[in-house]
């Protein structure tokens, strides 16, 4: 009864529409779960239909490129990403990772990955924010796919501002300067699934993929929560 009373006073809010959640709903309400703009790219696999994969053509070999959602600058997806990044909703990332991981698992992708690696934040930004918003998503994916994950493999050595990612990264002609592989022995011969929150130009994921491939990882795939 106390729980019911408290939830009347402080209802849990849907991270996508800001409406109170009903009993039994968690993080995202049923209506939003139905209406979120899913890409369904995992259904097509590595084919010409996969426009995300095309962004890496001629830059870095990417086995699979997926995104859970289409990025929208207004509405549900924008709210979800904002909460994930700035409102401390770490568990939301894990929740989304579990949901998407279950879909990927059902389509047989678990057998394609040996290790899941989130794109790291620079240590100063990590200290400011308190958490890496991509890490929860990676953790949820890892749990659903039953594949190990690690946030110790990569380090972001250069503090690129997320707002101007592309131009800032472009200035670093040598992309290995931005991301360093800290545990080369963990990377060697592995098929790695790289995980980030949002894919826009793909420059960040590209830089990470280069670093991993240079240290002997056998194959890189990428996935994000949302892709523009």
C-beta of 87: minimal distance to Zn ion in Å?
15
C-beta of 18: minimal distance to Zn ion in Å?
7
Give the residue with the Cβ less far from Zn ion, 16 or 77: 16
DSSP string, the chain: -HHHHHHHHS--B-TTT-PBPPTT--SS-HHHHHHS-B--HHHH-SSTT-HHHHTTTTT---S-EEEEEE--SSSHHHHHHHHHHHS--HHHHHHHHHHHHHHHHHTT-GGG-SEEEEPPPBHHHHHHHSS-HHHHHHHHHHHHHT--B-SSSEEE-S---GGGHHHHHHH-SSGGGTEEES-HHHHTT-EEEEEEEEESSSHHHHHHHHHHHHTT-SEEEEEEEEE-
Residues that bind Zn ion (CB under 5 A): 14, 16-17, 29, 32
Give the residue with the Cβ less far from Zn ion, 81 or 147: 81
C-beta of 14: minimal distance to Zn ion in Å?
3
Give the residue with the Cβ less far from Zn ion, 17 or 158: 17
C-beta of 15: minimal distance to Zn ion in Å?
8
């Amino acid at each position: 009864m106390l729980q019911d009373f408290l939830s009347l006073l402080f209802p849990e809010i849907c991270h996508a529409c800001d409406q109170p959640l009903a009993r039994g709903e968690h993080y995202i309400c049923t209506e939003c779960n139905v209406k979120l703009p899913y890409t369904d790219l995992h259904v097509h696999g590595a084919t010409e239909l996969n426009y995300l994969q095309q962004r890496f053509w001629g830059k870095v070999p990417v086995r699979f490129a997926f995104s859970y959602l289409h990025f929208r600058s207004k509405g549900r997806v924008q709210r979800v990403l904002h909460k994930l990044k700035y409102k401390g909703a770490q568990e939301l990332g894990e929740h989304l990772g579990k949901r998407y991981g279950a879909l990927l698992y059902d389509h047989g992708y678990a057998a394609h990955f040996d290790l899941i690696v989130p794109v790291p934040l620079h240590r100063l930004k990590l200290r400011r924010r308190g958490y890496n918003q991509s890490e929860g998503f990676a953790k949820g994916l890892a749990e659903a796919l039953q594949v190990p994950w690690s946030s110790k493999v990569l380090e972001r050595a250069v503090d690129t501002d997320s707002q101007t990612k592309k131009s800032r990264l472009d200035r670093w002609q040598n992309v290995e300067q931005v991301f360093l592989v800290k545990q080369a022995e963990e990377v060697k011969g592995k098929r790695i699934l790289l995980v980030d929150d949002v894919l826009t130009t793909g420059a960040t994921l590209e830089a990470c993929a280069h670093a991993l491939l240079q240290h002997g990882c056998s194959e890189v795939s990428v996935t994000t929560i949302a892709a523009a």
